[in-house]
Amino acid sequence: MKILQSLSIFAILSVMLILSSCGIDSEYSSEFFCMDTPMSITAYGADSEKAVKEAKDRIIELDKLLAVDKKSSDVHILNRDKSLDANEDILNLLKFSKEISLQTDGAFDITTTPLTELWGFRSYLINKVPSENEINEALKSVGSDNINISKNKVSLKNNASVDFGGIAKGYASKQVKEIFKSNNIQSGLISLGGNVRAIGKKPDGENWKVGIANPDDTSKQIGMLSVNDTAVITSGGYQRNFTEKGKTYHHIINPKTGYPAESGLKSVTIVSKDDTLADALSTGLFVMGLEKAEKLYSESTFDFGAVLITDDDRIYVTDNLKNSFTSKKNFEVVTK
């Protein structure tokens, strides 16, 4: 009887261990549309379903808060009234955006809303090339120095407006990362409109493979990154553009000129542990161009790597990514 009891206990424990092991590797995914883009979240772990549902709810919450075109959003209210008693998310984003604007000499700026609308880069607007007078008038409202923050009170001067479109998805994936951490998710993949965040490594212990699109043919890849526990975010003029009178205009506006950036770059991919930083720098470096981007990498305290593709199809990779980036094309290494 004791032997049978022991065997029974052993069998129960064995089943529990098997189930526990299955729980660790259990997968749960969700695909949905938010922040004006398709998104997907996948988690592996015993609480994968709980983590993914919490993450989706958090992203929807942020969209309601940050969407420029939703009249009930805090950002819409701030742009309308030029003042707001801001919550923690808004304050965090505003402070971080002003810092990145300072560090990139204004190449990244969240106050380009008047210019974005002039060029028709909104889902509800028609693209057009504005007149030089219209651009010059809009430029009067552009600049992060138009944002004043006093404790939780935010005010805008010179009729400025803000738009977190160049940073919101990075901030959202950073929030998802924290939700995964609180649910003990050690492996997962987050894709928010092309913004990729790898959580740990793949369940099999291998690195995640993240492709970088060929700017001239997005159905193909120009390179591949092998990464773990980091964000990979790309900005490029090919992602949204229109053609008028034979010339193509893209959506990444230079805050100083008011025109789509002509920096000699057509794609910038940033790799960083900080999702929000990666999102902001992918835009900032695109506007800055190769030489200034290399200088920022060499001199700043920001922790990031970059893959930069020029208009003439040269590829530059920062030295901290040279062992994780592969391409059939030759590439040059940027050193600090």
- In this prediction, residues 4-19 reach a mean pLDDT of 34
pLDDT surpasses 80 at 17: no
pLDDT surpasses 50 at 212: yes
Confidence of residue 29 (pLDDT cuts 50, 70, 90): very high
pLDDT surpasses 50 at 229: yes
Look at the chain and count its residues: 336
277-304 pLDDT tens trace: 999 999 999 999 999 999 999 999 999 9
pLDDT surpasses 70 at 18: no
What is this structure's pTM?
0.91
At how many degrees (to 10) do helices 48-66 and 168-182 cross? 150
Here the tokens at position 45 are: 């772990």
pLDDT surpasses 80 at 78: yes
- Kindly list the structural domains of the chain, giving each domain's residue range(s) and its CATH number in brackets, ordered by start: 69-156 (1.10.3980.10), 207-334 (3.10.520.10)
| Residue among 203, 230, 205 nearest 27 (CA) | 203
